[in-house]
């Protein structure tokens, strides 16, 4: 067996994943991942959050097969049926569309927004923050003052301004949320970089002739990733609420797309008598946001070096 290969037997694999003397960098990473998983699995609330996230992913992937009805099909004869009606577990909306089917298909839209924002805003904030923290001087001043300008406005208000300029639509909503979400990551990455840049190992790497770009990309950014990952997970609830707020105001996903915020907006007219039209998608937003928060708390306990674990 080579140093890069893992044992095939279960007892051997467990020993390979719990060794104190890894024989390769890949094995060391797998050991760290396995120990982190063990720590996460001992946190029941974090596992509940992970279960909610997995359920969201499965709903998004299997929506065409598990949704009982077409989410866009209208049947005015079945309009505003209460929950528990035959064939409509969550009831129907004002156009007779099945609410459960629309919530299931809306999960893919929520996951799409979360994935795109998570792939853009933290990366931009990480680049700006590490560059500002490592370079210092006027570069730090300019980048941080730009960050302060974005932080001076509430996220939803700033997102509304960008969507108003770009036009309504789910792609423009994602772009607006990403543009308004990067400043906290930049602040966090800068703070981490300021504690790292004067460390002895960074000085040794600099003396070996490494360029600033190589130091930032190869050594500073990886050390900032754990804090950024925790912040991303905890921010997902706010991103979902912002996307739902844009949809509620008619600036996000456009009808008849089954986006949860737009469903709440359409159901607010019937909230007193037909409460389920707006309540069901609202509960979906609540559950998914709670799941991300629970998972983020668990990841913070594992990845935050100041947590004492």
Domains and CATH numbers, the chain: 43-69+88-307 (1.10.3720.10)
HSE-up of residue 172 (Cα within 13 Å, Cβ side): 17
Phi first, then psi: what are they for 117, rounded to 5°?
A: -65, -40
pLDDT tens-place string over residues 185-241:
999 999 989 888 888 888 888 888 888 888 888 888 888 888 888 888 888 888 898
Residue 50 has pLDDT above 90, yes or no: yes
Question: Cα angle vertex 225, ends 223, 230, to 5°?
Answer: 130
pLDDT tens-place string over residues 140-172:
999 999 999 988 888 888 888 888 888 888 888
Could you tell me which of 142, 125, 236 has the C-alpha nearest to residue 182? 125
Question: Tokens standing for 80?
Answer: 């505003």
CA distances, 250 to each of 34, 36, 238, 243 (Å): 44, 42, 18, 11
> Residues 214, 155: contact at Cβ < 8 Å?
no
Examine residue 308 and say whether the peptide bond preceding it is cis (omega within 30 degrees of 0). Answer: no
Please name the helix (run of DSSP H) or strand (run of DSSP E) that holds residue 284, with its range, or none.
helix 276-303
CA distances, 227 to each of 112, 136, 185, 195, 298 (Å): 23, 21, 9, 13, 13
pLDDT top residue among 308 and 55: 55
- Helices and strands (DSSP H and E) totals, the chain: 12, 0
Calculate what percentage of the chain has a pLDDT beyond 70: 94
pTM of the model: 0.85
Question: Tokens standing for 172?
Answer: 């423009």
Whole-angstrom Cα Rg for the chain: 23
Residue 10 has pLDDT above 90, yes or no: no
Tokens 């939803």 found at: 156
Residue 99 has pLDDT above 90, yes or no: yes
């Amino acid at each position: 067996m080579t140093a890069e290969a893992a044992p095939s037997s279960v007892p051997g694999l467990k020993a390979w994943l719990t060794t104190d003397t890894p024989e390769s960098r890949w094995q060391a990473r797998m050991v760290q991942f396995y120990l982190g998983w063990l720590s996460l699995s001992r946190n029941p609330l974090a596992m509940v959050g992970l279960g909610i996230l997995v359920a969201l992913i499965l709903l998004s992937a299997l929506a065409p097969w598990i949704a009982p009805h077409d989410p866009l099909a209208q049947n005015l004869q079945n309009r505003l049926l209460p929950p528990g009606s035959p064939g409509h577990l969550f009831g129907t909306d004002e156009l007779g569309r099945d609410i459960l089917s629309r919530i299931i298909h809306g999960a893919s839209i929520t996951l799409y927004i979360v994935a795109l924002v998570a792939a853009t805003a933290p990366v931009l904030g990480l680049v700006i923050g590490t560059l500002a923290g490592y370079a210092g001087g006027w570069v730090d001043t300019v980048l941080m003052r730009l960050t302060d300008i974005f932080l001076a406005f509430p996220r939803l208000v700033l997102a509304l301004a960008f969507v108003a300029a770009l036009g309504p639509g789910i792609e423009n909503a994602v772009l607006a949320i990403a543009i308004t979400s990067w400043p906290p990551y930049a602040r966090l990455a800068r703070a981490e970089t300021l504690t790292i840049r004067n460390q002895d190992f960074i000085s040794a790497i600099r003396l070996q002739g490494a360029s600033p770009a190589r130091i930032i990309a190869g050594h500073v950014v990886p050390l900032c990733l754990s804090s950024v990952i925790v912040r991303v997970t905890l921010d997902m609830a706010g991103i979902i609420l912002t996307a739902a707020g844009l949809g509620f105001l008619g600036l996000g996903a456009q009808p008849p797309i089954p986006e949860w915020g737009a469903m709440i907006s359409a159901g607010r007219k019937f909230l007193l008598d037909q409460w389920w039209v707006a309540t069901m998608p609202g509960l979906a937003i609540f559950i998914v946001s709670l799941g991300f928060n629970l998972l983020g708390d668990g990841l913070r306990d594992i990845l935050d070096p100041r947590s004492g674990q």
